[in-house]
Structure 1
Amino acid sequence: MMIKREKYLEEIRKVMGKQVIKVLLGMRRVGKSTLLLQIQEELLSQGVEKDQIISLNFEWLEFEPLKEYKTLYEYIESKKIEGKKTYVFLDEVQEVEGFEKVANSLNSKGDTEVFITGSNSKLLSGELATYLTGRFYTIEVLPLSYREVYEGFTNFDVGLSTKESVFLDYLKTGGMPGKFQFEEERTAKNYLMDMYQSILLRDIVKRYNVRDVDLLQRFMLYLIHNIGQIFSAITITNYLKSEGRKLSKETIYNHIEAAKSTYLVHGVPRYNIKGKELIKTNEKYFINDLGIRNLYFDNEKDIGQALENVVYLELRRRNYEIYVGKFDDKEVDFIAIDGDTTKYIQVTYLLAEESTIEREFSVLESIEDNFPKMVISMDRVNRSRNGIEHKNIIDFLLED
């Protein structure tokens, strides 16, 4: 079953017909290819003919000869029909060296609409961005949201019938679209493991010439185990040293950049709320999909971290600019900024103890500006106080 990614389709519709290259970026197997198919289906339903659509996936062996950019360009030009607009879809285009020349040339002629996908955030950085300045529109594609999973699967026989049971499964196994084709948990886990290893070996080891693969894997395990925790190079150096391994500070940050570039993890900078300035050290990291973390660690056991990760990804889906807040010696889980609006958000498992309630609310009560403040937890009882809203996490994830 194919879930319609309406949020992304709506964003793409806004730029359809505009003379910009549409770029979908995101982790491997996150659903970019499916989105391209859904765009093509919409075009066909609107009267575009099949021969006006050229669709190439560069992970498929049959398109291997087209990975040379001049050959690719000549192939596309030969398939165009005179007097008709052509729609070109280039999937996993980072496999083609010089692809930007093809995309730019096709786009500049005005008779071709170009859609590309890639699995590396650096795809349009540096010189490439300069080369294509003002000629592309980027959309980041994330795994399925809880809302997409709940609305897409609960009408089908998948053994999930309530909001809570769907959420607990989502918390444990994440939202990678491909895993939903498997009924058995073990098979779905094997699928996720293969995907994770593919990202490590193809997108990080091969692309970034990593020599010590075992050390990279140990480093990544440390990183995904400690999602939502303040990260420092010294801490991980000490951890690896205790295991009899060494990793330089430079290599640590290279590995982090590689993991971020493949969308495996996201870094969140810290912000001093009182001093109104960025803190340049000790970012927090969150994983792109909790199902990957659950391959090695128990998300239900680490439910506080997992809930924080879910909220982070949801804020990212909603296109917020996100920071971790520092207020004196206390921490605000997220500062979410959208234009002139700022939200302060705390995330916790349950507000069962008075000490927990005090900890989560008091830091928000100390912030004296008038921006919205919110505590998110799994409680069903509303504990809003002093103008600070308390929301159940499922209600938060299902809201428009």
Structure 2
Amino acid sequence: MEIRRDIYLEKLISKKNNGLIKVVTGVRRCGKSYLLFNLFSDHLKEEKVRADHIIEMAFDSFENRKYRDPEVLYPYLMEKIQDEQMYYVLLDEVQLLDDFESVLNSLVRKKNVDVYVTGSNAKFLSKDIITEFRGRGDEVHMYPLTFAEYMSVYPGDKNDAWRDYVIYGGLPLIFSFNTSDQKADFLKSLFKETYISDIIGRNKVRNKVELEELLNILSSAIGSLTNPSKLSATYKSVKNKTISQTTIKRYIDYLCDSFLIDSAIRYDVKGKKYIDTPAKYYFTDLGLRNARLNFRQVEETHAMENIIFNELKVRGFNVDVGVIPINEKDKNGKNIRKQLEIDFVCNKGSKRYYIQSVFAMPDAAKKQQEQRSLLLTGDGFKKIIITKDVLAPLYNEEGVLVMSVFDFLLDLDSLEK
């Protein structure tokens, strides 16, 4: 079964032969290797690139362990390059290659070598692109399957697909399993044996229990505003143990660096400034999040918000949490200052959208509550409410676009309509 990943394939094709190192990053098992060795390699062959001019190396394979040594790999690659025609070098899990920065910089200096690499760790790749590649790196960040990609191979209707997607997420390998138990066991094992072990080993975490408890707390609170201080207090109340804010921040950095979670920080729409804390955290894949909680806490409301956040990131938006400060009177007539929230302030170039994720709007009161902050932004950017209710996209009397989550997810141009 082939799952098309056209968003990322088109990005790679557009960057072909640009003289930079194309770096495909993303959480483990999201499909980076398949993108490189299947979809992109097939594209090269369709473009009549000879097979001996496509050089592939997966560093996480047992048979390729010796090539993790640059003194072995580099001569091997040079031996493969026999003429002046363009060679395409595809390297998978390149963070396992010792001194990979020097090897890649040497390769990219050759006029007839186009380099593509994948990696699963931000510390070894995204940050070093700037410091080590000195402008020679060109990143393509990959996510698990979007709902549209998931639907393209799902053997059922969108409602059944949504139910499974909310529970088991979008890692492509989920389609290798037929039963609910098989999918759940796969995700739980993957989380424990791959993600946790990888994070602990790479960062030399001494207290595994602390990290796992923090993961449980973050998993239970997706889409909720929090910060190291609140998390430390929660840890104290739940486990009756103390964990410092500094340690929590370090652990969160580890989770972000492994692409397991992502954050949205607050942005004061009126004051046009960022508020660093608290922030919201979302899981890159809901299936992994649910597996962490043993599938005991699958709330569709929070899941929908997480899915919308990931979709916006896939579409290339910078995504913040909007804050609208207001003054109003309490029941005693006293002035009080409050902050209204906009779930997502989405920016890309000159475009901006304000979006609320609302699972259901059963009445006019709920509608007014949800769109109040949108109507107080004081600017002309598009305001959108995304709801689970099945309806055709429409503009209400206040000029707010209301659309179903299916219309949003299944149409890449949905925000433009």
TM tier, shorter chain? over 0.9
Normalising by structure 2, we get a TM-score of 0.91
Q: How far apart in 2 are the matches of 1:390 and 1:82? A: 58
Q: How does 1:278-317 map to 2 (within 5 A)?
A: 278-295=274-291, 296=293, 301-317=298-314
**Contact 2:228–2:246 at 8 Å: present in 1 too?**
no
Q: How does 1:200-219 map to 2 (within 5 A)?
A: 200-219=195-214
1:257 maps to which of 253, 260, 266: 253
The gaps in structure 2 that reach 5 residues or longer are 326-338, 413-417
CA distance 1:129–1:287, shift in 2 (3 Å): same
Q: C-alpha offsets along residues 187-235 of structure 1, whole Å, 9 cap, x if unaligned? A: 1122212221234333310111101111211111111211100012222
- Shift of the 241–299 alpha-carbon distance from structure 1 to 2, 3 Å rule, reads closer
The CA distance in 2 between the partners of 1:127 and 1:301, in whole Å, is 37
In structure 2, distance between residues paired with 1:343 and 1:90:
37
Report the alpha carbon displacement of residue 41 of structure 1 after superposing the two structures with TM: 1.2
1:123 maps onto 2:124 in alignment: yes
CA distance in 1, matches of 2:114, 2:166: 38
The answer to whether the Cα contact below 8 Å between 2:19 and 2:114 also exists between their aligned partners in 1 is yes
5 Å-filtered alignment, 1:1-400, equals: 1-37=1-37, 38-125=39-126, 129-153=130-154, 158=155, 160=156, 162-242=157-237, 243-295=239-291, 296=293, 301-328=298-325, 329-381=339-391, 384-400=396-412
How has the CA–CA distance of structure 1 residues 125 and 137 changed in structure 2, closer, same or farther, with 3 Å as cutoff?
A: closer
Instruction: After TM superposition, give the deviation of residue 239 of structure 1 in Å.
Output: 2.1
Deviation at 1:342, TM superposition (A): 1.0
| Cα pair 2:283 2:306 within 8 Å, conserved | yes
* 8 A Cα contact 2:167 2:298, kept in partner: no
Deviation at 1:64, TM superposition (A): 0.8
Contact 1:225 1:297 in 2 (8 A): no
SS at match of 1:282: strand
| Structure 1: runs of 5 or more not aligned | none
- Closer, same or farther: CA 327–254 of 1 in aligned 2, 3 Å: same
- Which letter does structure 2 place at the counterpart of 1:108? R
What is the one-letter code of the residue matched to 2:256? Answer: K
Cα deviation 1:118-173 (Å, max 9, x = unaligned): 001222355652331221210000000000111233xxxx4x2x222211221121
Give 1:113 shift. 1.0
Q: Normalized against structure 1, the TM-score is what? A: 0.94
Among the aligned pairs, what percent are the same residue?
A: 31
Q: Secondary structure at the match of 2:124?
A: helix
Measured in 2, the distance between the counterparts of 1:107 and 1:337 equals: 32
> Could you tell me how far 1:383 is from its partner in structure 2?
7.2
Q: Distance in 1 between matches of 2:406 and 2:360?
A: 13
List 4+ stretches of structure 1 deviating above 3 A: 124-128, 198-202, 297-301
In structure 2, relative to structure 1, the CA distance for the partners of 1:300 and 1:152 (3 Å cut) is farther
